[in-house]
Chain A
Amino acid sequence: EPEVTQTPSHQVTQMGQEVILRCVPISNHLYFYWYRQILGQKVEFLVSFYNNEISEKSEIFDDQFSVERPDGSNFTLKIRSTKLEDSAMYFCASRGDGELFFGEGSRLTVL
């Protein structure tokens, strides 16, 4: 069964460092998303991506965040200068058949 894969599963970084989280969406899907979840709480929308550009973004997705689809398979989330409050689980998702398919998540810990 096709699935969304994410790497790394866990990353620890120092405040102020750049982080890149990687995702491989399901191959025939066209819409991609990043969500985050802080300490098992609410799932918060960050950004959606379609046709090589951002289609929607939330207030959380400020200038410190960027997304990219550098090739035909990867979809990345970059945080330019991490803050303590960026510590969270980051979930990538792709959309097909009207539903979201989520990856297992990347846990980011900012020290």
Chain B
Amino acid sequence: GDSVTQMEGPVTLSEEAFLTINCTYTATGYPSLFWYVQYPGEGLQLLLKATKADDKGSNKGFEATYRKETTSFHLEKGSVQVSDSAVYFCALSPDYGQNFVFGPGTRLSVLP
């Protein structure tokens, strides 16, 4: 079945450091790919998405590129802030169904 794998956390960075969170997926067809973010005590919010190969999603300084050849959707940010501390979930939506499949989440802590 479809699945999403992402790097295990927690990830701890200093403010203004470069961030990469790796995400790879297994799916048939052409899924849409997403990054969701969960701030402490809150629900999940969409951070960015990409619906086809080579699309780049971007929001709030974060970006991720849909790479079909490597089945990856790595999240990057050039300079993280303390306010970026949260749990980040990579997810896919298969093109044949309506369910979303989530990765296990990566907790990011940014220190001042």
A interface, size bucket = 20 to 34
What DSSP secondary structure best describes chain B's contact surface? strand
| The residue from A33, A42, A45, A91 contacting B43, defined by CB atoms under 8 A apart | A91
| The residue from B36, B42, B104 contacting A42, defined by CB atoms under 8 A apart | B104
| The residue from A31, A35, A42, A104 contacting B105, defined by CB atoms under 8 A apart | A42
Q: Name A4's closest neighbour in chain B (CB-CB).
A: B43
| The residue from A44, A95, A101 contacting B98, defined by CB atoms under 8 A apart | A95
What DSSP secondary structure best describes chain A's contact surface? strand
Which residues of B have CB within 8 Å of A95? 98
B interface, size bucket = 20 to 34
Q: How far is the CB of B105 from chain A (nearest CB, A)?
A: 7
B66 within 8 A of A: no
User: What is the number of contacts between chain A and chain B, taking CB atoms within 8 Å?
Assistant: 53
Q: Which of B69-107 contact A (CB under 8 A)?
A: 87, 89, 93, 97-105
B17 within 8 A of A: no
- Asked if A43 and B43 make an inter-chain contact with CB atoms under 8 angstroms apart, the answer reads no
Stretch in contact with the other chain, from A12-20, A48-56, A66-74, A77-85: A48-56
Which residues of B have CB within 8 Å of A45? 99-102
Given contacts A42-B102, A56-B97, list 16 more A-B pairs with CB under 8 A: A31-B98, A40-B87, A42-B104, A43-B102, A45-B100, A45-B101, A45-B102, A56-B99, A91-B44, A95-B98, A99-B34, A100-B34, A100-B36, A100-B44, A104-B43, A105-B42
For the complex of A and B, 4 pairs with smallest distance between CB atoms:
A102-B43, A43-B102, A102-B44, A104-B43
